[in-house]
Amino acid sequence: MKHRLFKKVLVANRGEIAVRVMRACHELAISTVAVYSDADRDAIHTRYAGESIHIGGAAPTESYLDLDRVMKAAKDSGAEAIHPGYGFLSERKAFPEACAAAGIAFIGPPASAMDKLGDKLGARELARQHGVPVTPGTEAIGDAKAALEAARTIGLPVIIKPSGGGGGIGMKVVEREEDLRPALESAANAARSAFGDATVYLEKYVRNPRHVEIQVIADQHGHVVHLGERECSIQRRHQKILEESPSPAVTPEIRRRMGAAAVAACRAAGYQNAGTVEFIFSEGEFYFLEVNARLQVEHPVTELVTGMDLVKEQIKVAAGQTLGFEQEDVSWSGHAIEMRINAENPARNFMPNPKKILRWVAPAGPGVRVDSGYGPGSEVPASYDSLVAKLIVHGADRAEAIARAQRALREYVLVGPATTIPYHRAILASPDFKAGKLTTNFIAEHPELLDEMRKFEGEVSPMDYSSVDPRRIAAATAAVAAVIRQ
């Protein structure tokens, strides 16, 4: 029996991901509901949706992180399902539990899977039990003496990680024994502050690793399929800023093995819907990191190389439909790159720079896609993540994708806040990037990118007409009109 799709979906998020989800809903003839805070009263996602509901103040805890307010909005609007997007409440098991209690479908994994995967220590053990490679590490570490003994057994360097949370918060690399105690205290304090849980553990630190992840989709009937890998090694503060698919370092055989490991981990957790299994990859070997129980920021690169719409698949799976394809049906074509256009100043250690957008012209043309929840006149709020847009390109191969990305970045007009646009141009021009020589230390090891970036900062986009004498535009318009009248 084919399950019907939902009539109305509430999107419990903001910005580009809210607009992205609503676009998929509209193509499926599903009505949409937006929620918004004081800071987002005039935001694009509130106007794009069929209806919008105010849920509180600008602070996330007063709006997007307030589960009760989100659930009330869903009930009041008559939504049959909720899409959490990413961030905010998306990976909190209380969210699908609240949806189940209210008789509303959650477009994401069940609470039981989140419970098994939300704790990194538990997820590591689950992966290990099901044959997925993990780096040498420990259980929870409570004191410096135990940490020192473990570090000597594992071998320095080690990395200290919080068991809960993500985004690189609280992670500390330790190269020397004398640095272990202060790093342990710092990591535990950061974890307690950010996640309310001071539990930390140690792992062997793999030098010069790549960060490679596998996209997985699973239905409610036991079918689990992977959609290949994404290279996510270009990071600042352990957070990605540029992603691509496929990885320049992954062979078809490694993709097969890594994909099988990702599917095994998800099956072990009883996973459903879209998710991502993250791995450290070095010298042909890969090690399990964690599972992100949600849609990823970088999902568009997978969509472009597979031809699949992941958000539509999420909605269909949540409605009870069976995946319409098997593993052998998945194929990959060309190469895709995503650049996160953040309102940040790379020259000041990527400090957020929230300001009003004064001018905005998004690039276009063959193989170019822009996902955003902003436009000319939009205010970039200080209350939320600095992501303004995602620029995604697709080419026949990696060389064409890089050339297309360079062209699209040159076209982009975004005036107001400082952004990562010129920094991305510097990355793409780097010989090491072009050669695919990537590690998670790429930015730290290439300080010259800041100097290269400055070469692009003063360059005027050919799409920016703000500096053109209006008399020239009027004269050109008159000339065209005269030709038309002839």
Three-state SS letters, 245-289: ECCCCCCHHHHHHHHHHHHHHHHHCCCCEEEEEEEEEECCEEEEE
pLDDT in tens, the chain (486 residues): 578 999 999 999 999 999 999 999 999 999 999 999 999 999 999 999 999 999 999 999 999 999 999 999 999 999 999 999 999 999 999 999 999 999 999 999 999 999 999 888 889 999 999 999 999 899 998 788 999 999 999 999 999 999 877 767 889 999 999 999 999 999 999 988 888 889 999 999 988 899 999 999 999 999 999 999 999 999 998 899 999 999 999 999 999 999 999 999 999 999 999 999 999 999 899 999 999 999 999 999 999 999 999 999 999 999 999 999 999 999 999 999 999 999 999 999 999 999 999 999 999 999 999 999 999 999 999 999 999 999 999 999 999 999 999 999 999 999 999 999 999 999 999 999 999 999 999 999 999 999 999 999 988 999 998 765 556 545 555 665 665 555
Q: Strand pairing partners for 134?
A: 288
Q: What pTM does this model have?
A: 0.91
Is residue 405 a contact partner of residue 339, using CB atoms and an 8 Å limit? Answer: yes
> Where do the H-state alpha helices sit in 372-469?
398-411, 421-429, 431-434, 442-445, 448-457
In order of 26, 342, 353, 396, the CA distances from 346 in angstroms are 37, 10, 10, 30
**Which residue segments constitute the domains of the chain, with CATH numbers given?**
8-107 (3.40.50.20), 136-204 (3.30.1490.20), 334-486 (3.30.470.20)
Catalytic residue among 20, 69, 294, 425, which? 294
In order of 150, 230, 354, the CA distances from 124 in angstroms are 17, 21, 37
Calculate the dihedral angle through the C-alpha atoms of 163, 169, 173, 178, rounding to the nearest 10 degrees: -80
In order of 16, 233, 339, the CA distances from 297 in angstroms are 10, 14, 11
Asked about 176 being catalytic, the answer comes back as: no
Long-range contacts of 435-439 (CB under 8 A, 24+ apart): 436/248, 436/249, 436/398, 438/210, 438/231, 438/233, 438/234, 438/248, 438/249, 439/208, 439/209, 439/210, 439/233
| Cα Dmax for the chain | 89
